[in-house]
Structure 1
Amino acid sequence: MSQSSKLFEPFKLGPLTLPNRAVMAPLTRNRAVPSSFVPGPLAVDYYAQRASAGLLITEASQISQQGQGYQDTPGIYSKEQVAGWRKVTDAVHGRGGRIFIQLWHVGRISHTLLQPNGGAPVAPSAIRAKTKTFVGGSFADVSEPRALELAEIPGIIDDYRRAAANALLAGFDGVEIHGANGYLLDQFARDGANKRTDAYGGGIENRARLMLEVSKAVTAEVGAERTGIRISPVTPANDLSDSNPQPLFDYIVDGLNALKLAYIHVVEGATGGPRDVAPFDYASLRKRFKQAYVANNGYDFALANKVLEAGAADLIAFGKPFISNPDLVERLKKGAALNEWDKATFYGGGAKGYTDYPTLEAAEAAQ
């Protein structure tokens, strides 16, 4: 039986008309071609299968080799990577879909085995995160980082700008800046990782500077209407914390609003964990930002419907349900059972647990 919900209503996002308000969240899958970090043929199938989402956001994709933190994640900095992603976007557009790429620099969440010439990962300050990365086929402690020199920061900003330009060459409808989950831009913003004493450290305005400068550079390159950003104000992911996140992220969102980005994509609570991990007023961000608010973390149909009806969000991002349900929107609309995901196949591997989850139509035909 078909269910009625705002989730299935169209939404205008910049120049795009989304047929529904369900967003496929970025999901790291570690299946790029080793050494070249090009998305392979399986990625073409994977994203095309999910083209009925209102908007697809790709797995995080590094803007440079320095920005890589895990094995076999795709990049968007070489001609070969652009060509690989073009096959993905062509396939998604061929099925009527819309797709953004998430631009990623991991900062200190990396390993010397992944860095240019085996160098140390970079960070706002030389503080090692108490977390692990996936490298050499297993999980390992992240390496000791070095603090970025002030003179290096303009180059990082330009890497984001160039990656955004490459995204348009690859046929993407837009880009999402990864400012969440304890990676580089989040590390600069939060005082648990940033102990700098220059223009990028200290008070809120300085710590927020890099995230806002990157956002300004990207919007100048591809247009604000084609740029979104993901933030996670209170997540403890990747050993990150802040002593007072509310004024910090109120300030950041004010700055993003001034740039007129297409959307903010907000991880509410702990990424992939409790929504109530720490007190935070997400409604404050919703009021400050005049474009689209994408809500993320632990949403099912009931919660999505409730939040949309209350006007607390414009779009709802679903993560793991999209891994195991390529036709998630159709299943939610029909109130059908969802496929269960297999955690053992989330990271790395081949088609198993990637492109072999059945659609509702295929499952019914097999009965």
Structure 2
Amino acid sequence: MAENLNDLTTEELGKLFPIIIAEYQPEWEKLYRLEEQLIRGTIGNNNINTIEHIGSTAVPGLPAKPTIDILIGIFNESSIDLLINNLKKIGYQLIPKPENPPPHMMFAKGYTKEGVKGQTFHIHIRYPGDWDEPVFRDYLIRNPEKAMEYGNLKMDLADKYRNDREKYTDNKTDFIKKTMKEARNSKTAVVFGSTGLVGKELVNELLGQSEFVKVKAVARRDLTVSHPKLEIVHLADYAKLMELKDKCYADTYFCCIGTTIKIAGTKEKFRQTDLDIPVQIAQLAESLLIPSMVVISSIGASDHSSNFYLRAKGEMEKSVRESYSGNLKIVRPSLLMG
């Protein structure tokens, strides 16, 4: 981006970069993935809490301005100056937003004084949880008719305000606010351990509740049940759980992870399943600011118990409480048969 492009007036920017709406292109997701790798390699994973493809190019089938919007959630301790300097190295320029000072920041790439050069990207930087874009994106993906309505609105506004980005944006506001209200009233549940005894029953129960419009079942294999509200999230190894962050936004987490010492084979492997994995799930819930979480434990669980099984469950409960600050409910069933 040219050094003095920020000095252009709104009218000059409108003429130089007119609103153009294109049909959805599958390559947009590929372009995002490539840029994500470049960004991670430049600013470091230790400075990134989450990174996601947002905006209309992230919604399959939705017409959009062919600009890839990227949301980056940073940590409270992340260096703002370091982010600005490192992103500048890969062609990004900070776009000042006086009404939203850092850590709210927007960066742009692909714009020059002569017009667009190559692929354009926008980066939006926020602290974790300080965003609505993934909620809006996911709701449009789940509701194709709403996405179509939004696409038609965008094309109408682009024809009307081709050279006026401010009016184009302002006239989308009512639709976005209304849709966000609908999205927040549409709850999603994620069930971990969905193929186990408790998990299978819970999935069936949640699918029958009108409260939840989407039930995501995290599993190593497909479930025997099928339902319009059910989405399978495949995960072969819980060591890679954090790689599923963009698929695990929800209103409530249900952790039904559990095994037996007989099945696990050793006490160490039992602890890996019944203690370590629930804590990883709690950490994921905390990082995504999941509002509530339900964890299945065991009657008699105590980190001071002389019984190995009950002590491990008690240690799990303690570690989950330390890892997750949201609305936590721990369920302690008696002996499970089945």
Q: Highest CA radius of gyration, 1 or 2? A: 2
Q: Same fold (TM over 0.5)?
A: no
Structure possessing the higher relative contact order (Cα contacts under 8 Å, 6 or more residues apart)? 1
Query: Which structure is higher in helix share?
Result: 2
Query: Which structure is higher in strand share?
Result: 2
Return the TM-score normalized by structure 2: 0.29
